[in-house]
Amino acid sequence: MTTSPGNEHREETRIEQEETIFIELLSGESNDVIMCTSLDLSANGLQVVLDSDIPLESILRLCIDIPDRDPIFLVGEVMWKRPDPDSDGIRIGFLLFESDDSNIEEWKLWMADALN
């Protein structure tokens, strides 16, 4: 667990935890899904590493696959991106939204349990 000192944009405690994340990309007439792994998680955001770029301000559906739980569906906006120093990928930070078609409340409860 980390409070991420030195990064003024983070206001919440984050968990450095790897979870499988599915991101739905809407492009024209097709919907592609890419799979990645989280680097860290918080109640209102998450950070992932991807092999491909996603434009800033994209609002996308996310699915978090946590072992021994039903998948959690979320909606998030790409807030920042930068090269990943440990790979050829791109680190992307998502801000999670409260949305009627998401499980944001379930996510926040899971995060609260994980922090305790």
CATH of the domain at 55: 2.40.10.220
For residues 14 and 32, give the distance between their C-alpha atoms in angstroms, rounded to a whole number: 28
- Name the domain count of the chain: 1
Percentage, residues of the chain above pLDDT 70: 88
> Within a domain: residue 99?
yes
> Within a domain: residue 6?
no
> Within a domain: residue 95?
yes
Which three-class secondary structure state does DSSP give residue 4? coil
> Within a domain: residue 12?
no
Dihedral class, residue 110 (left if φ above 0, else alpha if ψ from -120 to 50, else beta): alpha
Please provide the average confidence, as pLDDT, over all residues in the chain: 87
Q: pTM value?
A: 0.85
Tens-digit pLDDT profile for residues 36-86: 999 999 999 999 999 988 999 999 999 999 888 899 999 999 999 999 999
> Within a domain: residue 87?
yes
Q: Which residue has the higher pLDDT, 73 or 2?
A: 73
Domain ranges, residue 25: 20-115
* SS3 annotation, 37-98: EEEEEECCEEEEEECCCCCCCCEEEEEEECCCCCCEEEEEEEEEEEECCCCCCEEEEEEEEC
Nearest to 46 by CA among 79, 71, 87, 69: 79
Give me the pLDDT at residue 3, please: 40
> Within a domain: residue 58?
yes
Q: What are phi and psi of 60, to 5 degrees?
A: -135, 155
Q: How far is CA 52 from the centre of its chain?
A: 15
Give me the pLDDT at residue 116, please: 81
